[in-house]
Amino acid sequence: MANRTSGVRRVALASSAGNAVELYDFLLYGTATALVFDKLFFPTFDPRIGTLLAFATFGAGFLARPLGGVVIGHFGDRIGRRSMLVLTLTATGLCTALIGVLPTYDSIGIAAPILLVLLRIVQGFFLGGEQGGATLMAVEHAPPGRTGWYGSWTFLGSPLGLLLANGAMAASTAVSGDAFLSWGWRLPFLFSLVLVGVGLYVRLSVEESPEFRAVRAERGTARLPVAEVLRRSWGKVLLGAGVNLGFNMFIFVLATFVVSYGTRQLGMPRSELLNAGLVGAAAQAVAILVFARLSDRIGRLPVMLGGAAFLGLFAFPLFWLLETRSPALVLVAVVVGFAGSAAVFGPMPAYYAELFGTRVRYSGVSLSYQLGAVLGGGLSPLIAVWLLGLTSTQESWPVAVYLVFGALVSAVSLVAIGETLRSPRTPEGAEASR
């Protein structure tokens, strides 16, 4: 029993470490978008238009994520989870490092933003296949009654990735000083190569999912997993996307748009917002574990539905606190936002795994999760910037209304799906027992 527990922990830690590296790569781009990309890659435009274009490139990475989820999910269900996770980690890290050596608009003109978008799209493609596989490795190794707990270790990679991204950007700001725009911003992107090496070392030390091995030996793999998912469980794919949509809208407005809004609109120091993000990411990491364990005890639905309610109720207070410009209240706003959102985020790995059967789970989880990510997270910073410009005085209430709408979508989707905790994880899927 001790050996099994140790093995599960090793797998969960490997999933978390790899996911942290990939989220570092992806979220670092969001931080750089909020701070420097408009000046470096879109300098000929009006500042607001430049910000919109920079956030549009941020969203481009999300557009490729569902496709990556389908393609990599297909091979994850056919070949195995482990090999796909090694591929996604390596490719995402290389894209990030290449962004770090990319010439700017002043050097090569329009080719600079074009190359930036292409790298972002490739990065998003591989991340689209990462998160579904990483969660399944942890969940499919976990013992009964602990899937929420061990699955949540994977999503610790998100706040840890944000912690690393904001920390690296804050450190490079301090080191480079006035030279931040010329070369300092590149350092965090190049540092990705070091993190990828660490992530690969950890990931290569774990075994393939036991559930996948058992199904492959007993029944064989599905010929076209995504087609089977869409034929038998298309409703769950769409509703699962709805659950993630509201969370992603909230978290990417909080993690990226708030940095841009605080520095440009409210005139706050960049370091103050980045440091608040660091504390918020740490708070979210703790909260993820708490809410995931609670979902093992009382069910996914009450915990995640409570989280969806928080996303809507806190939308207006978030901006009220930010607009005080008080360092203490801004810190409270960011920390509470990150911690409260974990009620939706923490149980997600187990929740999505319980929606689909083992033979098609990689494809089903990746497609459903990534559709919600692209519709929510990929577009939310861009939409938030656009909504901010709807009022003559750049008021924040349209953005808050937008977040309330996303929270309602998540809540309705959760109620429509219902409780998943007792759904058996069978080769045919939970739907086979209903």
More confident residue, 237 or 138: 237
CB 21 within 8 A of CB 161: yes
Give percent of the chain above pLDDT 90: 30
For 343-360, how does the pLDDT look when each residue is reduced to its tens digit (9 = 90+)? 999 999 999 989 888 788
Report d(CA 428, CA 320) in Å as an integer: 48
What integer pLDDT is reported at residue 432 of this predicted model?
38
Three-class SS string for the chain?
A: CHHHHHHHHHHHHHHHHHHHHHHHHHHHHHHHHHHHHHHHHCCCCCHHHHHHHHHHHHHHHHHCHHHHHHHHHHHHHHCCHHHHHHHHHHHHHHHHHHHHCCCCHHHHCCHHHHHHHHHHHHHHHHHHHHHHHHHHHHHHHCCCCCHHHHHHHHHCHHHHHHHHHHHHHHHHHHHHHHHHHHHHCHHHHHCHHHHHHHHHHHHCCCCCCHHHHHHHHHCCCCCCHHHHHHHHHHHHHHHHHHHHHHHHHHHHHHHHHHHHHHHHHCCCCHHHHHHHHHHHHHHHHHHHHHHHHHHHHHCHHHHHHHHHHHHHHCHHHHHHHHCCCCHHHHHHHHHHHHHHHHHHHCCHHHHHHCCCCHHHHHHHHHHHHHHHHHHHHHCHHHHHHHHHCCCCCCCCHHHHHHHHHHHHHHHHHHHHHCCCCCCCCCCCCHHHHC
Highest mean pLDDT pick, 24-28, 191-195, 226-230: 191-195
What integer pLDDT is reported at residue 266 of this predicted model?
86
* Banded pLDDT at 2 (limits 50, 70, 90): very low
What integer pLDDT is reported at residue 339 of this predicted model?
96
What integer pLDDT is reported at residue 414 of this predicted model?
96
* C-alpha separations of 286 from 15, 296, 338, 341 in Å: 17, 16, 10, 12
Average pLDDT over every residue of 234-239: 92
What integer pLDDT is reported at residue 4 of this predicted model?
53
Segment among 42-56, 90-104, 365-379 with least mean pLDDT: 42-56
Q: In the chain, what is the straight-line distance between the N-terminal and C-terminal CA atoms, in Å?
A: 33
What integer pLDDT is reported at residue 337 of this predicted model?
96
What integer pLDDT is reported at residue 404 of this predicted model?
97
What is the residue type of 157? G
Q: Is the pLDDT of residue 34 over 80?
A: no
Report d(CA 262, CA 325) in Å as an integer: 8
* C-alpha separations of 52 from 56, 59, 61, 256, 275 in Å: 6, 10, 15, 13, 24
Give percent of the chain above pLDDT 70: 94
Q: Is the pLDDT of residue 184 over 80?
A: yes
What integer pLDDT is reported at residue 366 of this predicted model?
87
Q: Is the pLDDT of residue 221 over 50?
A: yes
Report d(CA 406, CA 384) in Å as an integer: 13
* Banded pLDDT at 310 (limits 50, 70, 90): very high
What integer pLDDT is reported at residue 3 of this predicted model?
52
The torsion of the CA quartet 191, 12, 233, 305, rounded to 10 degrees, works out to: -90
Q: Which residue has the tokens 């407005």?
A: 253
The alpha carbon dihedral of 229, 232, 238, 244 has a sign of: negative
CB 239 within 8 A of CB 377: no
pTM reported for the whole predicted model = 0.80
Q: Is the pLDDT of residue 55 over 80?
A: no
Angle at 88 between CA 86 and CA 92, to 5 degrees: 125
* C-alpha separations of 112 from 29, 43, 115, 188 in Å: 15, 11, 5, 19
* Per-chain mean pLDDT for the chain: 85
Segment among 100-109, 173-182, 332-341 with least mean pLDDT: 173-182
Angle at 30 between CA 26 and CA 32, to 5 degrees: 115
CB 161 within 8 A of CB 20: yes
Segment among 5-19, 170-184, 276-290 with least mean pLDDT: 5-19
What integer pLDDT is reported at residue 422 of this predicted model?
66
Segment among 2-11, 247-256, 395-404 with least mean pLDDT: 2-11
Average pLDDT over every residue of 386-412: 90
CB 252 within 8 A of CB 381: yes
Segment among 15-24, 143-152, 172-181, 191-200 with least mean pLDDT: 15-24
Average pLDDT over every residue of 14-26: 77
Q: Is the pLDDT of residue 403 over 80?
A: yes
| Phi/psi-derived region of residue 418, left when phi > 0, alpha when psi is between -120 and 50, beta in every other case | left
Report d(CA 410, CA 286) in Å as an integer: 22
Q: Is the pLDDT of residue 222 over 90?
A: no
Q: Is the pLDDT of residue 427 over 70?
A: no
